[in-house]
Amino acid sequence: MAYYCKKTVADIDCAGKKVIVRVDFNVPFDSEGNISDDKRIVGALPTIKYLLDKNAAVILVSHLGRPKGEFNMKYSMAPASKRLSELLGKEVIQAKDVIGPDAKAKAESLKPGQIMMLENARFHKEEEKNNPEFAKELASMAELYVNDAFGTAHRAHATTAGIADYLPAVSGFLIEKEINFLGNAVNNPEHPFVAILGGAKVADKLTVISSLLEKCDTLIIGGGMAYTFLKAQGYGIGTSLCDDEKLDYCKSMIEKAEKLGKKLLLPVDATTIAEFPNPIDAPVVTAVYGVDSMPDDRMGCDIGPETCKLFAEEVKNAKTVVWNGPMGVFENPILAQGTVAVAEAMAASDATTIVGGGDSAAAVEQLGFAGSISHISTGGGASLEFLEGRDLPGISCLENKDRKIVAAGNWKMNKTPSQAAAFIKELAEAVKDAKNQVICAVPFVAIPAALEAAKGTYISIAAQTMDYHDKGAYTGEVSAEMLADLGVKYVIIGHSERRQYYNETDETVNLKVKQALKYGLTPIVCVGESKDQRLAGVTNELVAYQVEYALNGVRDDQAAGIIIAYEPIWAIGTGLTATDDQAQEVCKAIRDTICKLYGKNVSSVITIQYGGSCNAKNAAGLFAMPDIDGGLVGGASLKVPDFAVIANS
């Protein structure tokens, strides 16, 4: 699954700067040429208003319709500019071209707090070809680039991806919202997780079917694509839509669901017609048949009433529901009952409900259920590719959020509760201006006192280890649930001393990591080599193995938030320390391993610390290394002046 942790407009200084914003104003028009639905324009308002409030000069760029690379004023952006002016209560200056003299002159004279719209980007064939010269010309008008067009984020076009090669590039709030909803629903869903797929063709959703089967508890398939699955099961489907070339694929997906223990729900009855209506909304005579008794001369165009009940009941019991694709020919009211039933069930559900754009989003809007859905995606194709786990070019090109620099003090078996409280209060004053995150890992008995002392400060409290069981006959152990209940946010796992003296293994480290994540704790995972292993020249390979084992079974969104501490065993308690270059080499090997496991988006944001005798004298040099994001500090964390220097490095 694609993971994104991208900077937004809130992460940059845009005051007084010219900002080019890619919006998706590809809005529909009625027969009289008026905008019939302005939701895409309304969806971009938070980003636009934020930039204007910050006194930026805003240059909007979008496409509309299919002008096929030619200037065709039938597809002008002027109506969208007019509607945006009405919504903002201020003039939106309309350019006469895209990168021509009028656009450049208007952009040049645009003042902070003003807004303008370029003409339709697809008036140039170079747009869809992602021509670098075209992208460079666009970029020349601004100082920053913001992409807030999720609906086109799956396209590698000049205005969605190419322009990011020439300007600092961040996301708008609409894309941030889409990433959060779709990413959390699929990467971190509350179970039971039900996915509903509809639409006409299996071929359109090949990858997403397989991907969702691995993540959801129940996969519901309706719409025209259901009949290919039914035929694959041996049912007669009459004249219903069928993709005969995908019958073997459907059989393999049915087998996959059984193998994974997932529920795959198909229609049990169908609403049929004699022939497809022309026009599509013409009156039709329907008849309902069970899927085991469909006549040869009938066409299934909607799920039947029993299937409506079956699907609705599954939605009722879900905690997360994602829906992409209608259940039938919903444009015809007579053949929309299945789509209505799913929409009603989602609207009545207490679950997190997400509609993945396209026809299903249009259906929800038309049927009046939009206000009761948690999130309706603005991008049909983009949301589908996101659910498939593909990288979206219009998002991948944006800058990642800056990695956190974390100074974590491991107090080991030092300080009583009263001493811990006094120390944290003193430390809080010394690090109040630190830009780095500060964590204190205190003895178990000191956790409550430390948490109380840390209230209202920038200091977080960590535990030094935990058990991987929820409960049981484990005298002296502390569970993840206990730590979470106290309010602890972090836990050290696999420290070299735990490995050396308490038989911590790669297997128990992995079990603890997954248990910590289960209860919302952030693991600080320690890896490192002994002196003999370093002399044997196997450090990088060993550390890579330890990282892979520790994160086995961990999702990409979870991995991105984990902290990994490179902690050479030979440097713990010996006074020895790795040189800056030695530490950097291993931390880079760790980041490369994360990239191999999870991709560049995760590897670019994960925090990697150095933890071998980090002190006030060497911290600045270590933290300056490109792949080192702070330190796991031992003895130096017990002295306020020293730890304050480290925290401020």
| CA 597 remoteness from chain centre | 17
**What pLDDT, on a 0 to 100 scale, did the predictor assign at position 421?**
97
Q: Which of 197, 247, 223 is nearest to 301 (CA)?
A: 223
Match 């990288």 to its residue by tokens: 391
Q: What amino acid is encoded at 611 in this protein?
A: G
Q: What is the mean pLDDT of residues 277-294?
A: 90
Residue 474 has pLDDT above 60, yes or no: yes
Q: What is the mean pLDDT of residues 262-291?
A: 92
Q: What are phi and psi of 492, to 5 degrees?
A: -80, 135
pLDDT tens-place string over residues 515-524:
999 999 999 9
Beta carbons within 10 angstroms of residue 13's beta carbon: 9
Give the three-state DSSP class for 61: strand
Residue 209 has pLDDT above 60, yes or no: yes
Match 């694929």 to its residue by tokens: 249
Residue 575 has pLDDT above 80, yes or no: no
**What pLDDT, on a 0 to 100 scale, did the predictor assign at position 390?**
82
**What pLDDT, on a 0 to 100 scale, did the predictor assign at position 587?**
96
| Contact between residue 26 and residue 417 where contact means Cβ atoms under 8 Å apart | no
Per-residue pLDDT band at 578 (split at 50, 70, 90): confident
Match 């509350």 to its residue by tokens: 190
| Contact between residue 73 and residue 119 where contact means Cβ atoms under 8 Å apart | no
The CA dihedral of 631, 636, 638, 644, to the nearest 10 degrees, is -70
**Average pLDDT score over the chain:** 93
Per-residue pLDDT band at 1 (split at 50, 70, 90): low
| Share of residues in the chain with pLDDT > 90 (%) | 79
Q: Which of 397, 9, 353, 372 is nearest to 184 (CA)?
A: 353
User: With b meaning 16 or more CB within 10 Å and e meaning fewer, what string describes 16-28?
Assistant: ebbbbbbbbbbbe
**What pLDDT, on a 0 to 100 scale, did the predictor assign at position 599?**
87
Give the three-state DSSP class for 353: strand
Give the three-state DSSP class for 444: helix
Beta carbons within 10 angstroms of residue 224's beta carbon: 25
Q: What is the mean pLDDT of residues 583-588?
A: 96
pTM above 0.85, yes or no: no
Q: Which of 602, 168, 623, 605 is nearest to 403 (CA)?
A: 605
pLDDT tens-place string over residues 140-194:
999 999 999 999 999 999 999 999 999 999 999 999 999 888 887 777 788 999 9
**Residue 16 region by backbone torsions, left for phi larger than 0, else alpha for psi between -120 and 50, else beta:** left
| CA 628 remoteness from chain centre | 25
**Residues facing residue 62 across a β-bridge:** none
Give the span between the Cα atoms of 123 and 106, in whole angstroms: 18
Can you list the positions of beta strands (E) in 42-189?
Answer: 57-61, 92-94, 115-117, 144-147, 169-171
Q: What amino acid is encoded at 68 in this protein?
A: K
**What pLDDT, on a 0 to 100 scale, did the predictor assign at position 480?**
97
Per-residue pLDDT band at 391 (split at 50, 70, 90): confident
**Residues facing residue 20 across a β-bridge:** 59, 145
* Cα torsion angle, 287, 291, 292, 295, sign: positive
Contacts of 260 (CB under 8 A, 6+ apart): 213, 214
Is 375 part of the annotated catalytic residue set?
A: no
Give the three-state DSSP class for 491: strand
Q: What is the mean pLDDT of residues 400-408?
A: 89
Q: Which of 179, 244, 227, 160 is nearest to 5 (CA)?
A: 179
Sheet with 169-171: strands ordered across:
92-94, 115-117, 57-61, 18-22, 144-147, 169-171
pLDDT tens-place string over residues 34-46:
999 898 999 999 9
Residue 601 has pLDDT above 90, yes or no: no
Per-residue pLDDT band at 52 (split at 50, 70, 90): very high
Instruction: Provide the angle, in degrees to the nearest 10, between the axes of the packed helices 337-348 and 305-316.
Output: 20
**What pLDDT, on a 0 to 100 scale, did the predictor assign at position 2?**
65
| Contact between residue 603 and residue 595 where contact means Cβ atoms under 8 Å apart | yes
Q: What is the mean pLDDT of residues 572-578?
A: 74
Per-residue pLDDT band at 573 (split at 50, 70, 90): low
Give the span between the Cα atoms of 385 and 466, in whole angstroms: 39
pLDDT tens-place string over residues 536-559:
999 999 999 999 999 999 988 889
Give the span between the Cα atoms of 648 and 488, in whole angstroms: 23
Catalytic site residue from 385, 495, 504, 529 = 495
Residue 280 has pLDDT above 90, yes or no: no
Give the span between the Cα atoms of 598 and 52, in whole angstroms: 37
Give the span between the Cα atoms of 641 and 649, in whole angstroms: 12
Is 157 part of the annotated catalytic residue set?
A: no
Q: Which of 338, 285, 283, 292 is nearest to 315 (CA)?
A: 338
**What pLDDT, on a 0 to 100 scale, did the predictor assign at position 612?**
81
Q: Where are the alpha helices (DSSP H) in 398-466?
A: 417-430, 447-454
Residue 223 has pLDDT above 60, yes or no: yes
Give the span between the Cα atoms of 589 and 586, in whole angstroms: 5
Q: What is the mean pLDDT of residues 434-445?
A: 93
**What pLDDT, on a 0 to 100 scale, did the predictor assign at position 403?**
85
Cα-Cα end-to-end distance for the chain:
35
- Pairing relation of β-strands 218-221 and 263-265? parallel
pLDDT tens-place string over residues 326-376:
999 988 999 999 999 999 999 999 999 999 877 888 888 888 888 899 999
**What pLDDT, on a 0 to 100 scale, did the predictor assign at position 299?**
96
Catalytic site residue from 128, 314, 388, 567 = 567
Instruction: Provide the angle, in degrees to the nearest 10, between the axes of the packed helices 380-388 and 358-367.
Output: 120
SS (HEC) of 150-216:
HHHCCCCCCCCCHHHHCCCEEECHHHHHHHHHHHHHHHCCCCCEEEEECCCCHHHHHHHHHHHHCCC
Beta carbons within 10 angstroms of residue 138's beta carbon: 29
Q: What are phi and psi of 29, to 5 degrees?
A: -125, 150
What domains, with CATH codes, occur in the chain? 9-178 (3.40.50.1260), 191-350 (3.40.50.1260), 406-647 (3.20.20.70)
